[in-house]
Amino acid sequence: MRRLRRAIVAVLALALVAGAIYAIVAVLQRSETLVSERCVAVVGSGSYELATDQTANASLITAISVRRGLPPRAASIALATAMQESRLRNINYGDEAGPDSRGLFQQRPSQGWGTEAQVMDPVYAANAFYDGLVKIPGYESMEVTQAAQAVQRSAFPRAYAQHESMGRAFASALTGHSESALSCELRMPDAAGDPAAVVNELTTAFGAQAGSVEGRSVHLDVTGTQAWAIGHWAVANAKELSITQVDVAGHTWNRERRNGWTDAAAPSDTVTITVSAPTT
């Protein structure tokens, strides 16, 4: 009888321990503080990761190439260049080789790139880079190092090559040529989103788009590569704009689920960007 009681106690103890472990794991899995925020572009067999602020800058640089009607190769070159020059961050300092270098592309006012305020404006800086790039005959077929160097005139021209694969993957996703290829893992927003802010930032990046605002959602009448370019742009800017869901061509990215793009519950021909609700 004592042995039976000891066995029962042991089984109950193990059950309690197992239950406690399960509860702890469940809490940890739901804990927002443990989410490592990041964005990943997966194209073909390659997977490339950037921080959320780097991805947002990459999305703006790429959107401007789309707005200008440039080929995806232009965005690939621009992203590789900005990654090497600034780590895709809008920094307000230079280095020994260019002490007055500033911004995403480390453009130098003393070299005719514009004023310091201008080169610190990401939209201006990206357009200035593309203005230089399109003047280079045959840049689309050049190696990244050659094309980037022709624009930047860097002291370390070969350094651009190390970012070519990353630039290609993010450019392919952000130009819309690779579907459901970019996803960000984010904590849930701590503030309500503003659909008007989404429209304003979208207009800055791509120009005015045919669409409407309904409640917490922005609906856009776009299809094909433009739809995926805007959808991936929305995911890339979800952290800053408190975006919680993006729907494109029968696919959904949901911030809370953190499982990338999945089939949409109710497929639609429009792109829908939804922001977080006010907290109560």
The tens digit of pLDDT for each residue in 257-272 reads 999 999 988 778 889 9
40-52 per-position pLDDT tens digit = 999 999 999 999 9
Counting DSSP H helices and E strands in the chain, the numbers are 10, 9
Please give the model's pTM, rounded to 2 decimal places: 0.87
Pair 279, 192: CB distance under 8 Å: yes
User: How many other CB atoms sit within 10 Å of the CB of residue 48?
Assistant: 18
Percent of the chain topping pLDDT 90:
79
Residue 230 confidence (pLDDT): 98
Does position 133 have pLDDT exceeding 70, yes or no?
yes
